[in-house]
């Protein structure tokens, strides 16, 4: 960050990789490398708002794209224009070959039951019971 020294008015660089220089409401002490006088500076963080058209909010169609989520069963469709998101429809789950959240837990439960009957298996089982999904061995 370039600033002008308040004494000699020469330009000097303040190391902006130091996170402490972003502290607001405090006086940061600095020594000018040119005239070797000490001065203080305060930091003001400013926000910039960037407007963009969102036709989908004005009778247009949302431009949905699938989010990259792990596990993939938790993927959502997010509109590129307005940022709103929704669950995948059944058709989309079939099209992209993505199971439901429940199927993820079912898969996990079966996996852990096969490999060890540890905590994750119990977590999955509890989740399935809460969702009233019948899981029979």
Instruction: Catalog residues that contact Zn ion under the rule CB under 5 A.
Output: 5, 7-8, 32, 34-35, 56, 62, 79, 81-82
- Residue 29 CB, nearest approach to Zn ion (Å): 14
User: Shortest approach of Zn ion to residue 61 CB, angstroms?
Assistant: 8
* Distance from chain centroid for Cα 3: 33
Q: In the complex with Zn ion, which residue's Cβ is closer, 38 or 103? A: 38
- The residue among 62 and 88 lying less far from Zn ion, judged by its C-beta, is 62
Residue 32 or 124 with smaller CB distance to Zn ion: 32
| 107 closest CA partner among 135, 81, 69 | 135
Write a three-state SS string for 38-87. EEEECECCCCCCCCCCCHHHCCCCCCEEECCCCCHHHCCEEECCCCCEEC
Least distance from C-beta 99 to Zn ion, angstroms? 26
């Amino acid at each position: 960050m370039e600033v002008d020294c308040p004494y000699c008015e020469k330009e000097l660089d303040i190391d902006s990789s130091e996170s402490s220089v972003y502290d607001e409401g405090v006086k940061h002490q600095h020594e000018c490398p040119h005239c070797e006088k000490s001065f203080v500076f305060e930091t003001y963080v400013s926000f910039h708002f960037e407007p963009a058209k969102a036709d989908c909010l004005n009778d247009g169609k949302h431009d949905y794209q699938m989010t990259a989520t792990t596990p993939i069963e938790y993927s959502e469709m997010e509109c590129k224009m307005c940022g709103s998101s929704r669950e995948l429809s059944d058709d989309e789950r079939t099209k992209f070959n993505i199971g439901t959240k429940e199927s993820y837990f079912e898969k996990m439960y079966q996996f852990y039951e096969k490999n060890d009957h540890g905590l994750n298996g119990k977590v999955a089982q509890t989740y399935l019971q809460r969702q009233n999904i019948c899981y029979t061995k």
